[in-house]
Amino acid sequence: MSLFQKFERKFSRYAIRNLMYYIMILYAIGIVIQMIMPMLYWRFLSLNAGAILHGQIWRIITFIIYPPMGTMAPLGSSMGVMLSDLLFNGIALSLYYSLGTNLERTWGAFRFNVYFFMGIIGHVLAAVIGYLVFGQLMFLTTTYLNLSLFFAFAVTYPDLQFLLFMVIPVKAKVLAIFDGIFFAYGFIVGGAAERCAIVLSLANFLIFFLMTRNVSRYAPKEVKRRREFRNQTKIVPAGGVRHRCAVCGRTEKDGENLEFRYCSKCAGNYEYCQDHLYTHQHVSGN
């Protein structure tokens, strides 16, 4: 059992269930603040490292109320502009709620909590280091945090399709590549503080998957074993199935969006659906 699994068993009861529900409430509060008092966020709630180091520690949490689509048109603006901003923020909130809840259902509440709060910590460290080391006051919002959430979703569900512009079907892994280009471009053209912010903002993605995913699955022996098993299952008898979860028994016929993976920690070729890939009891070879 890995160190992370031991940590999970000991502290999983403290995880916040349905975390994205509470994050959506914070985003909704942020939208209202943007509409009523646009400057309140930047003056008292944003991730201002200078203010944090002078005692305004609440900013460590309150910065995450910044809505995914950015600023909102304040009250008094034209009705068309306000409705447009509300529509796009509503779509963004629906998207990120769906991403987060699916990840929590697949990983479990504890792992999702760890991932999300690691992202918050990375943002705070980036702001503080940028201020103390590079002398730059950086106002990081939730942009990188939301992108790292999408990265995690794309790794977990690479072939799940989104409708771009409500029309064009695009797989999650393709959209993640474009997000990666966005990060890479920012890293290349940005200064030292911006590069630090990008790296630390993505640290939750890199560290989390190193902690929780079994890197031995990429060893030549494991790659060969999985390739041989896939070759054996290419021919499926009429009425048969190609994938079956070893826990719940679901197959690809039970849903078009079901994902199946093999567990390299189990002795033998055991396959699991996305709901049991990280939560099943490993099969011993003894």
* pLDDT tens string 26-76: 999 999 998 888 889 999 999 999 999 999 999 999 999 998 876 666 666
Identify which has the larger pLDDT, 78 or 119. 119
Query: Cα(182)–Cα(187) distance, rounded to whole angstroms?
Result: 9
Measured CA to CA, the distance from residue 32 to residue 107 in angstroms comes to 32
- Tell me what pLDDT residue 22 has: 95
Q: Domains for the chain: give ranges and CATH numbers.
A: 3-212 (1.20.1540), 216-273 (no CATH)
- pLDDT of 172 above 70: yes
pLDDT of residue 54: 92
Segment 166-172 mean pLDDT: 80
| pLDDT higher than threshold 70 for residue 143 | yes
pTM check: above 0.85: no
How far apart, in whole angstroms, are the C-alpha atoms of residue 66 and residue 25? 11
Give kind and range of the element (H or E) at residue 124: helix 109-132
Find out whether 219 and 165 touch, Cβ atoms under 8 Å.
no
Task: Tell me which range, 110-119, 166-175, 178-187, is most confidently predicted by mean pLDDT.
Answer: 110-119
